[in-house]
Amino acid sequence: MTLAAAMTRPEAETTIKDGQRLMGRAERHGDELRVAPAAPGPHWAETAARALEWAFAGDPGLDRIVLRVDGPAPDPRALPCLVIEDGALTAYRAGFYQDPGLWLAHAPTGRIQTGLIPGPDGRDHPRRAPAPRGVCYERFDPVAGVTVSFRAVDPERDLDRFHKWMNDGRVAHFWELAQPRDALAEYLHERAADPHTYPLIGCFDGDEAGYFETYWVREDRLGPYYDSGPWDRGWHALIGERRHLGRNKTGAWIRGLTHYLFLDCPMTENIMGEPRADNAKLLAYADTMAYEKLKEFDFPHKRSALMQCRRDRFFAEVRL
């Protein structure tokens, strides 16, 4: 179940629909949310999840809410974010947004393995699951008012746009990949085949906007520059379409990408970044996105800022 759109009207009640299908109604009274599914049965959890999203998205100060569902007593196991407190079904904001079943479009790819396998320069790491295919994540961002989604790169389908983006002087200044089509085709195929890297295309309201390269840090060049954990993730990003630049959408993709990586692997506690130390525009978003600068260091080709986003801080501080 992927929640592609949130109902963020400020009213005390809302009608919940999936396209043209009526799912039910929700009413909020203080710290209590009453949900009335349109029909009894197993779909109550999807209706409740959308109602919770409406409540949390509409009130940034709401951290906890009691859920009441009309009809037969629901099985709380159908909605993993729920806990039972004082006999009542209760949802916490941080727990709700960590439920991968609501926005992740594939099974989580992180998985527990027995022991580590040899990695580069002694950086042993877990075995990695195959990279996902197709759409990976989709969520309506109520702050920016757009649906953010990520899909796996298709080297053939995406080569033309990738070539255009990389040969844009604005992008080339940071990526240094202003190369001909054949070289970039090889680059995309290598990234798609590498188990430590997930190359993605990011979209706003379904429109392809940019390229996002996510990776497991232990096997990456960043691994030896700090005490990297076996489940740490990192990312590189570019917005190739100029119409999708701007503070509003930049905030949306940083929130979405970080959220996706935490959902993708429940063992991941840190999302790391290593932007150029002089990338002032990107670094300006750090604090509001729960990223903190640990240090500056030198790669062979650039001076970088080591950035870290901790899971607990992200879900405690960032409005999703």
pLDDT tens for residues 45-81? Answer: 999 999 999 999 989 899 999 999 998 878 889 999 9
Q: Each residue of 229-270: pLDDT tens digit?
A: 999 999 999 999 999 999 999 999 999 999 999 999 999 999
Q: Residue 173 contacts by C-beta under 8 Å, 6 or more apart in sequence?
A: none
Q: State residue 42's pLDDT score.
A: 75
User: How are beta strands 291-298 and 233-239 bridged, if at all?
Assistant: unpaired
pLDDT at residue 196 is higher than 60: yes
Integer Cα distance of 17 and 319 in angstroms: 23
Tokens linked to 72: 């037969």
What confidence score (pLDDT) does residue 2 get? 46
Between the alpha carbon of residue 191 and those of residues 89, 98, 107, 195, the distances in Å are 44, 28, 21, 8
**What pLDDT is recorded for position 271?**
98
pLDDT at residue 111, as a whole number: 67
Per the prediction, the chain carries an average pLDDT of: 91
Strands (E), the chain: 13-18, 21-29, 32-37, 64-69, 82-85, 88-92, 135-141, 146-152, 197-204, 207-216, 233-239, 270-273, 291-298, 303-310
Instruction: Assign 11 a pLDDT band (cuts: 50, 70, 90).
Output: low
Which of these, 267, 277, 273, lies nearest to 298 by C-alpha position? 277
Res 112: pLDDT: 66
Checking if the pLDDT of 224 tops 50, the result is: yes
Alpha-carbon distances, residue 320 vs 76, 109, 275, 308 (angstroms): 23, 22, 23, 19
Over residues 197-212, the mean pLDDT reads 97
Give me the half-sphere count of Cα atoms (radius 13 Å) on the Cβ side of residue 256. 33
- The question of whether 241 is a catalytic residue gets the answer no
From residue 244, alpha-carbon distances to 45, 58, 202, 288 in Å are 34, 25, 11, 20
Average pLDDT over residues 120-131: 88
pLDDT classification of 20: cutoffs 50, 70, 90: confident
Confidence label for 114 from pLDDT (cuts 50, 70 and 90): low
Which of 53, 213, 274, 317 is catalytic? The answer is 274
- Note whether 286 and 320 are within 8 A (CB): no
Question: Which of 150-159, 176-185, 272-281 shows the lowest per-residue confidence on average (mean pLDDT)?
Answer: 272-281
Whole-number pLDDT of residue 121: 85
Say which residues have a Cβ less than 8 Å from residue 312's Cβ, sequence separation at least 6: none
CATH 3.40.630.30 occupies which residues in the chain? 109-317
Provide CATH code, domain 109-317.
3.40.630.30
3-state secondary structure of 201: strand
- The structure's pTM equals 0.92
Q: Where are the alpha helices (DSSP H) in the chain?
A: 44-58, 93-96, 100-103, 159-166, 169-175, 181-193, 247-264, 280-283, 311-317
Place of tokens 């195959």: 130
Q: Which one-letter DSSP state was computed for residue 158?
A: T
Report how far apart, in Å, the C-alpha atoms of 298 and of each of 188, 235, 274, 302 are: 26, 18, 10, 6
- The answer to whether residue 6 scores a pLDDT higher than 50 is no
- Residues ≥6 apart with Cβ < 8 Å to 75: none
Which pLDDT score is estimated for 280?
Answer: 86
For residue 209, pLDDT beyond 90:
yes
Confidence class for position 305, pLDDT limits 50, 70, 90? very high
In 3D, which of 142, 100, 37 has the Cα closest to residue 259? 100
Q: What is the share, in percent, of the chain residues with pLDDT greater than 90?
A: 76
Closest to 147 in 3D by CA, of 71, 75, 53: 53
